[in-house]
Amino acid sequence: MGWKGAAEPVLTRMPAVRRPEGHVPFKRKLAWTAGILVLYFFLTNVALLGLDQGEATDLFGQFRAILAGEFGSILQVGIGPIVTASIVLQLLGGTNLLGLDTDDPRDQVLYQGLQKLLVVVMTALTAIPMVFAGGFLPVQGSLSLGGLALDSTGVQLLLFVQIFVGGILLLYMDEVVSKWGVGSGIGLFIIAGVSQRLVAGFLSLSEEGFFYSWFQILTGRTDLDPIAGGAGLYQLVVTEGQLLALATTVLIFAIVVYAESVRIEIPLSHARVKGARGRFPVKLIYASVLPMILVRAVQANVQFLGQILNSQWGMPAWLGVYSEGQPVSGFFYYVAPIYSREEWLWWTAQVTQEWWQVLIRIGIDVAVMVGGGAIFAIFWVETTDMGPEATAKQIQNSGMQIPGFRQNVGVVEKVMERYIPQVTVIGGALVGLLAVAANMLGTIGSVTGTGLLLAVSITYKLYEEIAEEQMMEMHPMMRNMFGKE
Amino acid sequence: MDRGQNSGGLMSSAGLVRYFDSEDSNAIRIDPKSVIAFGVLIGLLVQLLTFVS
């Protein structure tokens, strides 16, 4: 029994969004998804009450692109706590420390409860240092609400309550989309954030905006060095012109869409119905790009810790030296992921570090992303029932078999074991490498490589899901085949 | 055709948070409409208080 018995009364009572009874029509699903999306955008525009807008710096920094939410709004924590809670669950579940069998209904309830409890704890743990430590969210000195006058501690408490409620609200918004809508809320929020940045990166009427800066170049308002000398070309491609960023962005799109179609297909035939054939695809990015967000979140939390340590107590030089809120040397500098060209082009004036320091940082970033990508992909496959054992069971249950092999779960599992682990590791490592490369070359609107990878692959998944929904809508018989009621 | 995949119906795309079909009868059920209503109300409340403060 152990922890399960002790925790059961709490975990089974966690509030949950009601499940729809019976089939939800596709249009209704779209409406729920759109409703949540509108609410999400609305909330990102509601500024925190009691926040001193002037000098605040975003603790998430560059990680904001993938952690969604909006700095200084009610959705300050974004999906950070949900991702962190998911990491903890992945590690516990992947190493089987929990002893939960996700096929058992009782354990499923416990798993869901634990998941929710972890998110609540993580939201508090993220919000507390944000509000109470350092100057990440500077508060107004005093605030009077009607007759009630609050001192700065009171305002801090008020800030904490708002951020905490926002974090929990995101969790339930995700649940509504997962149960009543299309795809998942988390995916939706990531796409929303990344797309917003991408559109702003193209259309913004400032130096950041791609079209704006090209308008400036073409009308001669930007001073260019002569192109023949190379310096002008550098400006066009790398700095003002952003051609390199555009190329990287388009390339990532193309690579992800292409990689989605790279697969090993395991032939299947029906055991009883002659001629009924099928294929089980093991995709190259089998575990999808999602494990990547977990690696990035680990890095984000390390940086988060560094920022807090630095602002609260300071730290020895070998651990980290900070300048303008960014680590410039020491341990926290080396483990910080690279986010833009300005951070690694060591022959330019923007980089104050030595070339070998930059190289070490790049090396660590690549190692973490490739290694971490592979490891989290393995955990992901295990915990989401995409592993050899689970898929073999699924194939067996649907009455299919691999032609030329005995119809037996163990045999199917053996065949699956030849492909799934290898493909998972290669895919995870590849996606990690791609993310680092994209960051180093830069992307339009600085959406970051990981952000772009996530957005494209989630959109692709969403498209597949919508296609499936529509097919089921047109042919109600298909619902049985897809195993849904 | 591709009957082998998609059976089970547990996998939702990009689900960092997993939801299973089974639910405990003790659990507090929330209507999805109340989630949206609560979100809108919180947003409006904060906005309103910012206005009057």
CATH class of the A26-182 domain in this structure: mainly alpha
**In this predicted structure, what is the pLDDT of residue A324?**
77
Which residue in A166, A16, A137 sits closest to A78, CA to CA? A166
Would you say the C-alpha torsion A93, A94, A96, A102 has a positive or negative sign? positive
Indicate the residue of A74, A82, A400 with minimum beta-carbon distance to B4.
A400
Tokens 């830069």 correspond to what residue?
Answer: A442
CA triple A250-A205-A215, angle to 5 deg: 70
Contact between A398 and B4 using a beta-carbon 8 Å cutoff = yes
Chain B residue numbers touching A102 (CB-CB < 8 A):
20
Evaluate whether A26-182 and A236-481 have a shared fold: yes
Euclidean distance between CA atoms A52 and B39, whole angstroms: 23
**In this predicted structure, what is the pLDDT of residue A103?**
76
Chain B residue numbers touching A143 (CB-CB < 8 A):
53
Question: Residue B53: what residue type?
Answer: S
**In this predicted structure, what is the pLDDT of residue A125?**
93
Q: A354 to chain B nearest CA, in Å?
A: 39
Which residue in A135, A154, A141, A160 sits closest to A312, CA to CA? A135
Contact between A176 and B1 using a beta-carbon 8 Å cutoff = no
B6, A483 Cβ separation under 8 angstroms: yes
Task: Quote the strand ranges of A102-239, DSSP E.
Answer: 143-145, 148-150
Domain residue spans of chain A: 26-182, 236-481
User: B32-52 and A26-44 are packed helices; what angle lies between their axes, rounded to 10 degrees?
Assistant: 20
Pairing of strands B29-30, A277-283: unpaired
Contact between A39 and B40 using a beta-carbon 8 Å cutoff = yes
Complex prediction ipTM: 0.82
Euclidean distance between CA atoms A164 and A166, whole angstroms: 5
Strand order in the sheet with A277-283: A277-283, A263-270, A400-401
**In this predicted structure, what is the pLDDT of residue A118?**
94
Q: What is the pLDDT of residues B1-53, one digit of tens each?
A: 333 333 333 344 446 788 887 777 777 899 999 999 999 999 999 999 888 87
Q: A385 to chain B nearest CA, in Å?
A: 8
**In this predicted structure, what is the pLDDT of residue B15?**
61
**In this predicted structure, what is the pLDDT of residue A55?**
66
Tokens 């980290």 correspond to what residue?
Answer: A320
Residues 6+ apart with CB under 8 A from A397: B7
Which residue in A366, A483, A362 sits closest to A429, CA to CA? A366
Q: A201 to chain B nearest CA, in Å?
A: 25
Sequential DSSP letters for A226-261: -GGGSHHHHHHHTSSS-HHHHHHHHHHHHHHHHHHH
Any idea which architecture A236-481 has in CATH? Orthogonal Bundle (1.10)
CA atoms within 13 A on the CB side of A427: 31
pLDDT in tens, chain A (485 residues): 578 888 888 888 889 999 898 888 999 999 999 999 999 999 999 999 888 877 667 777 778 888 888 888 999 999 999 999 988 888 887 777 888 877 788 888 888 899 999 999 999 999 998 888 866 788 887 777 777 788 888 889 999 999 999 999 999 999 999 999 988 899 999 999 999 989 999 998 887 889 998 998 888 888 777 777 778 888 888 888 889 999 999 999 999 889 888 888 989 888 777 778 888 888 888 777 888 888 999 999 999 889 888 888 888 888 888 887 788 889 999 999 988 888 888 888 778 888 899 999 999 999 999 999 898 888 888 877 788 888 888 888 888 888 888 888 899 999 999 999 999 999 989 999 999 999 898 888 878 888 898 898 889 888 888 888 888 888 776 666 665 54
pTM (two decimals) = 0.87
Residues 6+ apart with CB under 8 A from A276: A269, A270, B3
CA triple B38-B44-B46, angle to 5 deg: 100
The strand pairing partners of A281, in sequence order, are: A265
The strand pairing partners of A282, in sequence order, are: A264
**In this predicted structure, what is the pLDDT of residue A134?**
66
Contact between A186 and B16 using a beta-carbon 8 Å cutoff = yes
A25 is written with which tokens? 């029509």
Euclidean distance between CA atoms A23 and A18, whole angstroms: 14
Chain B residue numbers touching A32 (CB-CB < 8 A):
32
Q: What is the largest CA-CA distance in chain B?
A: 63
Which residue in A374, A127, A290, A420 sits closest to B17, CA to CA? A290
Q: How many CB atoms lie within 10 A of CB A401?
A: 21
